[in-house]
Amino acid sequence: MSRVIIIGAGGVGNVVAKKCAQNDEVFTEVLLASRTVSKCDKIVAEIHEHFPQSRTRFTTAAVDADNVPELVALIRSFGPELVINVALPYQDLTIMDACLETGVHYLDTANYEPRDEAKFEYKWQWAYRERFEQAGLMALLGCGFDPGATNVFTAHHAKHHFSEIHYLDIVDCNNGNHGKAFATNFNPEINIREITANGRYWENGQWIETQPLEISQDIYYPNVTTRKSFVLYHEELESLVVNFPTIRRARFWMTFGEAYIKHLTVLEAVGMTSIEPINFRGQQIAPIEFLKAVLPAPESLAANYTGQTCIGVQARGVGKDGEPNKVHFVYNVKDHAECYREVQAQGVSYTTGVPAMIGAMLMLQKTWFKPGVYNVEEFDPDPFIAGMNRWGLPVDELGGIQLVLD
C-alpha cells in the first residue's frame, strides 16, 4: 500500500508509470504530474487500455517543477510517501527542496545540472545529505540504468566476485535502428550536451580529460554485436570511484554510429548545439533548445524501433579467491520492439524506467532504506538484481574474457 508521485511524463515517465501499474501490490495510488498534463492523461489512458486488470489508481496533474511552492502544494494535496523525479536534471534541486519541506522521500535518475553551465556533478545534491538525514528522509540518486543498474552491477562485482576492483569499464551499446536520419534516444538537450562535452575518465586518483570522442575501440557486446565505442564522461563514475576506492581506472564507453556523429559534427560546427542564448526576432533562444523543438521526440521513436541495447560493467582486479587478474562482466540485453509491445516505449526509456520503479519499490518496502542522500551502489545489490530479473531486465554474467581492452 503506497502513494507515489511521478514527476515527468516523457519517455521515461511513461515506462515508470506503466511498470508501477504492473506492480500494483506495491504501488496502489500514483499521481502522474508534469508540465504538460495532456501527456500524463495520454499515458494513463494507455494504462487503462493495456493493463485493464491493474489495481493501481492513477490521477494526473499539471505542475511546474521549477517552482517549489507549486510542488509543495501538489505534494501536500496528494500526500505521497515518495516522489519519483523523471523530469529533467534541472529540476532535481527544486524537487528535493519540496520533498524536504513536505517530509517525503525522493528518487531520481540523473544528477543535477545547472541550465546554463553544461556541467553535471553530484556536489549540489550531496550537499543535501545532512538535511535529509536530520529529517529522517531518504534521497536515492541516479536510479536509472546508467547511472543506476551500472552502479548495482559494480556493487555486485564487489560483493560476489572481487576482493578488490582495480579496473572498471562501463559499456553502453545501442544497436537499435529507429529509421530516422538523426534523433536522440532521450531528451535531446541533455543527450547532446553530454556527448559534445570533453571526455573524462578516472586514473590513479585523478580525472584525465580528453577531447570529445577522442578515445575509441571496438567492443564485443555479448549476443548483440561488435561496435566502435567511445570514452565519454558519465556521472556514475564520480560516485563509484568514491565508494570503491580500490579502483585505479574507471572509464565509460558508448557506441555512436557514423551517421550520428556526422550529423552532430555539422550541427555543432554551425552553432546549433550551443547553450548560449542568441537574440532571434526579439526573443532570447538557446540554439540547442530550438534544435530540440525540431528533432523527433524520444518517445516518438518507439513504434518502429528494432534491434537491441546491451549495457554492462566489466571489472578486473583481485578475485574473492585471490586470483590476481580476474575479469568478469555483468550485463543486460534488451530488445527495442519487445519494449514497445510491453509498454509502448523504446529500449532506452525502458532500461531507465524499470530500474527507477525497482528502486522506488525497494525504498517503499524499506529493503533499501537509510535517512540521507545516497547513490545506488551504497545498498545491497541482490534485491535490485532480483527485481531486474523479475521486471523485464534479465541480468547475465560472463567470466574470464576481457571484452574491453586497456
- Contacting residues toward ligand NDP, per CB under 6 A: 7-13, 34-36, 39, 63-66, 86-89, 91, 109-110, 144-148, 186-187, 190, 298-299, 348-349, 352
Which residue, 90 or 248, has its beta carbon nearer to ligand NDP?
A: 90
Which residue, 21 or 327, has its beta carbon nearer to ligand NDP?
A: 21
- Check if the beta carbon of residue 41 is closer than 8 Å to that of residue 60: yes
Which residue, 148 or 199, has its beta carbon nearer to ligand NDP?
A: 148
The angle at the Cα of 235, spanning 22 to 371, to the nearest 5 degrees, equals 65
| Shortest distance (Å) from residue 276 CB to ligand NDP | 20
Which residue, 72 or 327, has its beta carbon nearer to ligand NDP?
A: 72
| Shortest distance (Å) from residue 189 CB to ligand NDP | 8
Among residues 30, 35, 46, 28, the alpha carbon closest in space to that of 10 is found at 35
| Shortest distance (Å) from residue 55 CB to ligand NDP | 25
- Cell reading at 98: 519540496
- Cell reading at 100: 524536504
Closest-by-Cβ residue to ligand NDP is: 10
**Which distant-in-sequence residues (6+ apart) come within 8 Å of 298 by Cβ?**
10, 11, 183, 184, 185, 186, 187, 188, 346, 348, 349
| Shortest distance (Å) from residue 1 CB to ligand NDP | 27
- Burial of residue 11, with CB atoms counted within 10 A of its CB: 0-12 exposed, 13-18 middle, 19 or more buried: buried
Which residue, 86 or 241, has its beta carbon nearer to ligand NDP?
A: 86
Task: For residue 141, list its beta bridge partners.
Answer: 375
Strands (E), 264-354: 278-280, 283-285, 308-319, 326-335
Which residue, 137 or 149, has its beta carbon nearer to ligand NDP?
A: 149
- Cell reading at 321: 579467491
